[in-house]
Structure 1
Amino acid sequence: MTEAARRKPGTPCWVSLMAHDLDATREFYGALFGWRFQPGPQQLGPYLRGLLDGEEVAGIGQHPGDRGLPTAWTPYLASDDADESAESIRCSGGTVAVGPLDAADAGRMVICSDPTGAVFGVWQAASHLGTAVAGRHGTPVWNELLTQETEAVGKFYKTVFGYELEPLASADADVDADVVTLRLDDRPVASLHGVGTALPRDRGAHWMTWFEVADADDAARRVAELGGRVVEPPRDGPRGRHATVADPEGAVFTVVRSAGDR
């Protein structure tokens, strides 16, 4: 399925990883997801775009060690005006770390964090609209913010991007879960998950990218074979069978076989 249209502001439109060893990271994700690579904009240093059958999926860049950015997958949220979004982020208690700046003719970008410290990007598209394929092995399928609690940070994202906030009804959960779905035009686009003291102290609040795979168990095994590690083993959940894994540099992500694919 192609995703060629310009996204509504607030829609996750791209995911990007900043890695220390670009060559080794390219080999890992190429073997895991079947991506091939081509050069992308170099404003923050060497950068590659991962492709499936020539369609852009995600980006991997060389980690700029002097900017304080984590080695982590970062979602980018669409914007019609990156400068205006950056100002709204600042005024709402967030922090702008990089930009706004032009990424050649591809678009205009910002890297920032919400009031809890979770890093995300803002993307004002020009020639590059973002991820161009979905629903296949190796494509991003969901983004979830793991944070201590959702009430305050939910107000931040609603103010900046205009999301409708839909708390998870207690009847829909096996336990009393603090989960809020972010919706645009009555369509779910991302979620917030308050995990309280279970939030990793070494990572703090962070966005988690979920990638579609043909088989979650096989993908988790493959991660370990390629030098990564399994953080949480495969298990079934509302979104399908999934596992939390980390690449060889420690960047954490989730692999999922969506429930609708069974």
Structure 2
Amino acid sequence: MTEARGSAGPHARRAPGTPCWVSLMVHGLAATERFYGTLFGWEFQPGPQQLGPYVRALLDGHDVAGIGHLPPDRRLPVAWTPYFASRDVDATADQVRLCGGTVAVGPLDAAEAGRMAIAADPSGAVFGIWLGAAHLGTSISGVPGTPAWNELLTFETTAVAKFYETVFGYEEEPEISADSDHVTLRAGGRPVAGLSGLGHALPGDRGAHWLTYFQVADTAETLLQVTELGGRILDPAHDSPHGRVATVADPEGAVFSVVEDPS
């Protein structure tokens, strides 16, 4: 997980399939800004308004994420959505459709920020496709308050891994184990995302979905803040090979994980 946290700078061209942005659409934008601003130390500035009110979250002046107001006519989940880099959003969207996925929004231009689409894989997990201009994209990583990893939680990995491999050109690195169904996706030789097949343990109320991890300095302190700010703890803190991890939900129910770097 932690290997993928080095990010390209805002003026670098990202390899296709590289996670380059993470975005959240919510009903209460001001309240959500207060929650994440307190939790992660983010500040906010206006962003592209193509889908309605939208703000860029900044940490020490660097873009890290986006939060927008959920349009009433858009059937999108209140969930963190990772965006993966593309050099041709329209061609990638066509490939999504050819491989059995769907495109829910776009492709469309996000003002001068770039071109984007929101899609779903054949299992229904939602993700974004992004070709960004030089001035917008996650441009800092490896410090508290920044995205650290994206993991797809799905029923089984075989078919969906082929989908992402075909759409984005990933290389697959399966984990060989009798009791584990896990694949690491690599782009440009680097691990960039993971796929976890949960079988019947996949939450029935959510189905397949992407889960974003944010780095924190202290998992215990973060969980205390989450509850004080009106969020919920879904999976208490526990040790993992990548650090101390927990899964939480914000006051609107958007689920994300936090990870404390063991180093």
| Range class of TM-score, shorter chain | over 0.9
Distance 1:106 1:238, change over 3 A: same
Question: Does residue 244 of structure 1 match 2:244?
Answer: no
Question: Does residue 191 of structure 1 match 2:194?
Answer: yes
Query: 1:65 Cα shift?
Result: 2.6
Partner of 2:74: 67
Partner of 2:232: 229
Question: 1:161-188 CA distances to partner (integer Å, 9 max, x unpaired)?
Answer: 0111111132xxxx71111000112210
Partner of 1:219: 222
Partner of 2:30: 23
Partner of 1:177: 180
Question: 1:186-238 CA distances to partner (integer Å, 9 max, x unpaired)?
Answer: 21000000001111111110000000000111111110110000000000011
Q: What amino acid is the match of 2:86? A: S
**Structure 2 spans left out of the alignment, 5+ residues:** 1-5
Note if contact 1:105-1:127 (Cα within 8 Å) is conserved in structure 2: no
Note if contact 1:208-1:253 (Cα within 8 Å) is conserved in structure 2: yes
Question: Does residue 162 of structure 1 match 2:165?
Answer: no
Partner of 1:113: 120
Note if contact 1:13-1:129 (Cα within 8 Å) is conserved in structure 2: no
Question: Does residue 126 of structure 1 match 2:133?
Answer: yes
Query: 1:126 Cα shift?
Result: 1.8
TM value normalised by structure 2: 0.95
Note if contact 1:147-1:193 (Cα within 8 Å) is conserved in structure 2: yes
Partner of 1:150: 157
Query: 1:130 Cα shift?
Result: 1.0
Alignment RMSD (CA, Å): 1.1
Q: What amino acid is the match of 1:214? A: A
Q: Distance in 2 between matches of 1:2 and 1:184?
A: 13
- Deviating 4+ runs (over 3 angstroms): none
SS of the residue 1:90 aligns to: helix
Give the number of aligned pairs: 256
Note if contact 1:20-1:62 (Cα within 8 Å) is conserved in structure 2: yes
- State the percentage of identical aligned residues: 66
Distance 1:141 1:168, change over 3 A: same
Note if contact 2:247-2:257 (Cα within 8 Å) is conserved in structure 1: yes
SS of the residue 1:66 aligns to: coil
SS of the residue 1:127 aligns to: coil
Q: What amino acid is the match of 2:214? A: F
SS of the residue 1:65 aligns to: coil
Q: Distance in 2 between matches of 1:149 and 1:230?
A: 26
Query: 1:2 Cα shift?
Result: 6.3
Q: Distance in 2 between matches of 1:65 and 1:217?
A: 36
Partner of 1:85: 92
Q: Distance in 1 between matches of 2:188 and 2:130?
A: 19
TM value normalised by structure 1: 0.95
Note if contact 1:107-1:128 (Cα within 8 Å) is conserved in structure 2: no
Question: Does residue 207 of structure 1 match 2:190?
Answer: no
Partner of 2:8: 3
Q: Distance in 1 between matches of 2:194 and 2:151?
A: 5
Q: Distance in 2 between matches of 1:70 and 1:9?
A: 25
Query: 1:77 Cα shift?
Result: 0.2
**Structure 1 spans left out of the alignment, 5+ residues:** none
Note if contact 1:6-1:129 (Cα within 8 Å) is conserved in structure 2: no
Note if contact 2:214-2:257 (Cα within 8 Å) is conserved in structure 1: yes
Distance 1:166 1:2, change over 3 A: closer
Query: 1:124 Cα shift?
Result: 0.8
Q: Distance in 2 between matches of 1:229 and 1:182?
A: 30
